[in-house]
Amino acid sequence: MAPLVELAPAKLNLALEVVGRRPDGYHDLATLFQTVGLADELYLAPADELTLECDRPELAGESNLALRAARALRTQLGVEAGARLTLRKRIPLAAGLGGGSSDAAAATRGLTRLWGAAPGRDELIALAREIGADVPFLLWGGRALAGGVGDELEWLPDGPEAYALLYTPTGAPADKTARAYRALAPSAWSDGAATRALAADGAADLASAPNAFESVAERLFPGLADARARLLGAGAPWARLTGSGPTLFTLFPGRAAAECVLARLGQPARSWVAPTLPRLPDWLT
Q: Where are the domains of the chain?
A: 4-155, 163-275
Can you give the pLDDT at residue 1? 66
Residue 201 known to be catalytic: no
Q: Which 8-state DSSP code applies to residue 279?
A: P
Residue 134 known to be catalytic: yes
pLDDT of residue 112 exceeding 80:
yes
- The edge-to-edge listing of strands for the beta sheet with 240-241 is 240-241, 248-252, 163-167, 271-275
pLDDT per residue as tens digits for the range 212-254: 999 999 999 999 999 999 999 999 999 999 999 999 999 999 9
How buried is 164 (Cβ within 10 angstroms: 0-12 exposed, 13-18 middle, 19+ buried)?
A: buried
Report, as an integer, the average pLDDT of 144-164. Answer: 94
Can you give the pLDDT at residue 104? 98
pTM of the model: 0.96
Q: How far apart are CA 103 and CA 88, in angstroms?
A: 10
Mean pLDDT, the chain, whole residue set: 95
Query: Taking a C-beta distance cutoff of 8 angstroms, is the pair 211, 248 a contact?
Result: no
**Confidence grade of residue 119 (pLDDT, cut at 50, 70, 90):** confident
Choose, from 103, 134, 151, 176, the residue flagged as catalytic: 134
Collapsed DSSP state (helix, strand, coil) of residue 186: helix
Can you give the pLDDT at residue 124? 92
pLDDT per residue as tens digits for the range 173-197: 889 999 999 999 999 999 999 999 9
pLDDT per residue as tens digits for the range 56-106: 989 988 999 999 999 999 999 998 899 999 999 999 999 999 999 999 999
Q: Which of 35-39, 114-118, 248-252 has the lowest mean pLDDT?
A: 114-118
**4-155: in CATH 3.30.230.10:** yes
Report, as an integer, the average pLDDT of 270-279. Answer: 98
Can you give the pLDDT at residue 73? 96
Can you give the pLDDT at residue 26? 87
CATH homologous superfamily for the domain 163-275: GHMP kinase, C-terminal domain (3.30.70.890)
Can you give the pLDDT at residue 117? 85
Choose, from 11, 40, 103, 151, the residue flagged as catalytic: 11
